[in-house]
Amino acid sequence: MTEAADLTVSNLSAWYGESQALHGMDFSVRRGEVVTLLGRNGAGKTTTLRSIMGLIKRKTGEIRLGSEELQKRLPEYIARKGIAYCPEERGIFASLSVDENLTLPPIVAPGGMSMDDIFALFPNLAERRGSQGTKLSGGEQQMLAIARILRTGATMLLLDEPTEGLAPVIVKQIGQVVGKLKERGLTVLLVEQNFRFASKLADRHYVVEHGRIIDTIDAADVAASMSRIENYLKV
């Protein structure tokens, strides 16, 4: 495994065309942590992940991995530094089989999971190796999207709403997977709207609103802050 490093985002602003989506994000993720970005739709969580991954061109501020500045780097470079991204829409390639989807991302560092490990973690995928990517159910697609970045040896995973639109039993399964990843020492930056899911996994929560961090809640304080959190997220 590459030397995992802390991720520090400071004063990050980003734009889609003329619409500014991030207005100075500040947060950090230490190695081995699971950290969530919470917030309503449109708060800027996805944009933050895409900015870290280098997929948004127009941005200012700093994104550091350890001491290295990544803000101006291209996605292919950032991926090689051990950051892997699992997008909200899952990014499963329709014209590729499950197997091909799984083996598509190249190994960026030693220490990634073997295929056996992966199939042990996601038994459903083993059965569907030959199927076309988009013939999978939503839950299977989500697992495939996570599974394929575990092979690569990436040490920092950016997961965008892995539970979105999934049935409770699958959500639970995905929760277990993220727990195991944490045990393996991976760093996870999780975007979630499902707070109950996130609260069981994360060391820390950042609440995002209007492209800024408006609150930070440590895992220890969650119980005490529940009403505050519901206020941020509720209907």
* Residue from 24, 32, 61, 91 in contact with another protein (CB under 8 A): 91
How many CA atoms within 13 Å lie on the side-chain side of 19?
8
The backbone torsions φ and ψ at residue 172, rounded to the nearest 5 degrees and listed phi first, read: -60, -45
| C-alpha of 87 from chain center | 7
CB of 199 to another protein, least distance (A): 8
**Does position 74 bind another protein by CB under 8 A?**
yes
Sorted by sequence, the CB contacts under 8 Å of residue 219 that are 6+ apart come out as 199, 202, 203, 204, 205
Under rule CB under 8 A, residue 2 binds another protein: no
Q: Which is nearer to another protein, 172 or 182 (CB)?
A: 172
User: Among residues 75, 131, 219, 225, which is the contact residue for another protein, using CB under 8 A?
Assistant: 75
**How many degrees, rounded to 5, is the angle at CA 45 between CA 122 and CA 88?**
35
Structure letter (DSSP) for residue 134: G
The answer to whether the beta carbons of residues 49 and 192 sit under 8 Å apart is no
- The sign of the dihedral angle between the CA atoms of 206, 139, 84, 66 is positive
Q: Report if residue 219 touches another protein, rule: CB under 8 A.
A: no
With binding defined as CB under 8 A, does residue 225 bind another protein? no
- Give φ, ψ of 147 to 5 degrees: -55, -40
Q: Establish if 198 lies at the interface with another protein (CB under 8 A).
A: yes
Among 27, 85, 122, 206, binds another protein (CB under 8 A): 85
Query: Cβ of residue 105: shortest distance to another protein, in angstroms?
Result: 4
Number of residues that bind another protein (CB under 8 A): 58
Q: Is 61 in the site for another protein (CB under 8 A)?
A: no
Q: Does 103 bind another protein (CB under 8 A)?
A: yes
3 part of the interface to another protein, by CB under 8 A: no
Confirm or reject binding of residue 165 to another protein (CB under 8 A): yes
As measured in angstroms, the least distance from the Cβ of 101 to another protein is 8
Q: Which of 185, 183, 192 is nearest to 158 (CA)?
A: 192
